[in-house]
Amino acid sequence: MHVNFVKCFAVLFVLLLTGTLANSQEKNKGVENVQDDMKILQGDWTCKKQEVNGQPERNVKRMNKRLNFDKSVMVAEWVGGAGKLRTFEGKFNLDPTTKPKKFDFTGKDTTGKDTMDPKGPNLEWKGIYELTENEFKLTIVENGKRPSDFETGTYMQFKRDKD
């Protein structure tokens, strides 16, 4: 009886240890994915295509929408409706372990004197993304529920700027 208990305990211990190791490896894989995507995202990107709720934006070239990623800080710039340059700056987070991958941005409109509030409002963008070495697809909503697909919200397709 004692031998069976020891065998059962040993088997249970091995199963628990194996599950713990697998779970730990899975968590580490998630950390590596975040670091990989963060590394790829660093640098300058230019918007080549934009859609809002599935409708194409015709003035993409005039808007000259650009993103710069430096560590965990993102700066977004584009020409607004009145022809004035708009600048947004803040922190971003990635979660590549979900499907679709999650993108979050919190920051401020730092445009300056040309806006009614020079310090800008607090911004919160929730989104999803796809990323390769030279292409970054992003769909965001401002202060709303995270989109579940690339058809809802503001969809932007960026290409990496070449040095």
Q: Is 96 exposed, middle or buried (0-12, 13-18, 19+ CB in 10 A)?
A: buried
Report which of residues 129 and 55 the model is more confident about.
129
Per-domain boundaries in the chain: 38-160
Residue 138 binned pLDDT confidence (cut-offs 50, 70, 90): very high
Quick one: average pLDDT of 19-35?
51
Distance, CA of 160 to CA of 41 (rounded, Å)? 9
pLDDT at position 111 is 80
pLDDT at position 7 is 60
Q: Which amino acid is located at 117 in the chain?
A: D
- 3-state helix/strand/coil string of 76-140: EEEECCCCCEEEEEEEEEEECCCCCEEEEEEEEECCCCCCCCCCCCEEEEEEEEEECCCEEEEEE
Q: What is the pTM of this model?
A: 0.75
- Dump pLDDT digits (tens) for 74-123: 999 999 878 889 899 999 999 999 999 999 999 998 886 544 455 567 88
Q: How many alpha carbons fall within 13 Å on the CB side of residue 3?
A: 0
Residue 24 binned pLDDT confidence (cut-offs 50, 70, 90): very low
Which CATH number is 38-160 given? 2.40.128.280
CB 79 within 8 A of CB 86: yes
At residue 68, the 3 state secondary structure works out as strand
CB 123 within 8 A of CB 148: no
At residue 147, the 3 state secondary structure works out as coil
Give one DSSP letter per residue of 22-56, joined into a string: HHHHHHHHHHHHHHHHHHHH-EEEEEEEEEETTEE
On the question of pLDDT at 21 being above 50, the answer is no
